[in-house]
Chain A
Amino acid sequence: MSGRRRLSLNQRLALAIPYLWIAAFFLAPMALIAKISLSHSVLARPPYEPRFALSDTLAAFWAKAQSLTFDNYRALVSDNLYFDAYVSSLWIAAVSTLVTLFVAYPFALAMARSPRAWRPFLIGLAAAPFWTSFLIRVYAWIALLKDEGLINTALMALGIIDAPLVLFATSGAVIIGIVYSYLPFMLLPIYAALEGQDPSLREAAADLGATPAQVFLRVTLPLSRDGVIAGALLVFIPAVGEFVIPDLLGGSDTLMIGRTLWNDFFANHDWPAASAVAVVLVAILLIPLLMWERARLREEEGRR
């Protein structure tokens, strides 16, 4: 819809309210972050010098504009800490997304193939933990994974191991935490895709001589593609910027970018560095997403 339309007065009023809110508390703050990421760290440290004072003359504004620097971005590139944190965040998020997929797919398939009357109950049961506190669910894993935790206690009591396994404060613990916390985000879209499939397609494939494995690989799996992609995005994107899970379950050697940003901001009070980290993080996530969306639109247009 490219045709522009003039709105009535009522419509304008209705639009203005959410628009103003978004402009004031989302667009302006994001612009501010971009601006802070370009300033000197000393200048921008609290007590923070207001950057957009209304009393500024044009000359003062110009002087401030000239003080912009790309130093913070240069620091991001030259400091291995940041580079390693980005890479390790992307890596942990990717592995977690893959593990979540392998846990969620059979689970979703089993639900979708259950008797129809049972499905709403099963879906409710699977979604219920999502409605309970995220922090509490992550915290519960500490009690399971610690050296004197329940997994190690149980394994030692059974005589399977002699010394406790190091589970807590590792990257593995972070991955378990992410898989557990984000499982519903993967489970529900895949279930929706599988539940909507026409069973006669599978029957037709089987009648034509396909083995159950072939039916799965050539009918069920391709038809659930959209659910898998949606689930993977819903897990991967928040996992890259995750702060709580690596902070509670990860060790001091588990580098993730959300935690680095948090430290730069709350511990080092280096606003420009934290802002630069945030801008790059958004770019890393948004650019591939926009490119994927554009490719999808083009594919749709090509089909028409």
Chain B
Amino acid sequence: MSRSANAARIATLSLGFVFLYAPIVILAAMSFNASRLVSVWGGFSTKWYAALLENELLLQSAKISFAAALLSAAIATLLGLLAAVALARFGGFRSRMLFFGAVHAPLVLPEVVLGLALLSCFVALGVGRGFLTLVIGHVTFTMCFTTVALLAALRGCDPTLEEAAMDLGATPAKAFVLVALPQIAPAMASAFLLAFTLSLDDLVIASFATGPGATTLPMRIYSQVRLGVSPQINAISTLLLGAVAVALGVSALVMQAGRRRGL
């Protein structure tokens, strides 16, 4: 590669990463700003973090968000696994097209539409909205992502191994659990993580699906942002970003270790 092409490549990469990271870095820096104003640096301070620890509402919402994300990601991964198995292994069963379409449709549907539909359904059924309906909403909208991820993994599995297990006397279900499932375990983990992140980050579906008792963190942040920029939001954002960075670092280390073991 010529020297000028190399310089252009490095310049493009630098510009791209500045665009991606500048807002995040500024946000994190502002969380340590003693001044309430965005454009004025009033010295280093951690007072917004201290204020955060006393903000019961915000902490309560964070708990609800994490609990809903854990539960809905677990359910969405299991449902996605069953759906992916049906699509990958059951051949051309009746109504396969309808099933395939319905599983994938939420992927291309605007969130406001799905949210509106879910809320209408809960009201029509007379179900009170709260934590349970929040989880149902999040499972419904993350399940299409887990299905797609697991379907790709299942299609990449070698079917002859399962056939060999069945020739040796295993039932199809047993062959699947003992042979295919370990092969797609990493995909299961990443599907769970994907669903967890989507749920934790979601504002629109949650606004429609939940009730007054179960306000999620994005809903709380959203309502506060609309009232005016608060340094406390900067502080909680920075904490969340830090948590994500640690999680990414740990998963990278785990993957490195796995690669070294020759997995």
Contact = CB atoms under 8 A, between A and B. Distances in A.
A110 B12 contact: yes
B23 A30 contact: no
B38 A17 contact: no
A36 interface: yes
A25 interface: yes
A103 B93 CA distance: 44
B166 to A, nearest CB: 13
Contacts of B51: none
Contacts, number: 232
Interface SS of B by simple majority? helix
B111 A113 contact: no
Nearest to B22: A144
B131 to A, nearest CB: 16
Contacts of A114: 9, 13
Contact of A139 (B91, B96, B237): B237
B99 A19 contact: yes
Chain A interface size, under 10 / 10 to 19 / 20 to 34 / 35 or more: 35 or more
Contacts of B109: 241, 282, 285
Which interface residue of B16, B19, B26 has the most chain A CB atoms within 10 A? B16
Interface string B31-72: 000000111000000000000000000000000000000000
Chain B interface size, under 10 / 10 to 19 / 20 to 34 / 35 or more: 35 or more
A135 B221 contact: yes
A7 B123 contact: no
Contacts of B23: 137, 140-141, 143-144, 180
B225 to A, nearest CB: 5
Contacts of B9: 110, 113-114
B91 A1 contact: yes
Given A124-B252, A180-B20, 6 more contacts: A21-B139, A26-B140, A29-B114, A137-B24, A139-B221, A258-B111
Interface of B: 1, 5, 8-10, 12-13, 16-17, 19-24, 26-27, 30, 37-39, 79-80, 82-83, 85-86, 90-94, 96, 99, 102-103, 105-106, 108-114, 116-118, 120-121, 123-124, 126, 136-137, 139-140, 143, 147, 172-173, 197, 200-201, 203-204, 218, 221-222, 225-226, 229, 233, 237, 240-241, 244-245, 248, 252
Interface of A: 1-5, 7-8, 10-11, 14-15, 17-19, 21-23, 25-30, 32-33, 36, 46, 48, 50-52, 103, 106-107, 109-111, 113-114, 122, 124-126, 128-129, 131-137, 139-144, 146, 148-150, 153, 180, 183, 212, 237-238, 240-244, 248, 258, 261-262, 265, 271, 274-275, 278, 281-282, 285-286, 289
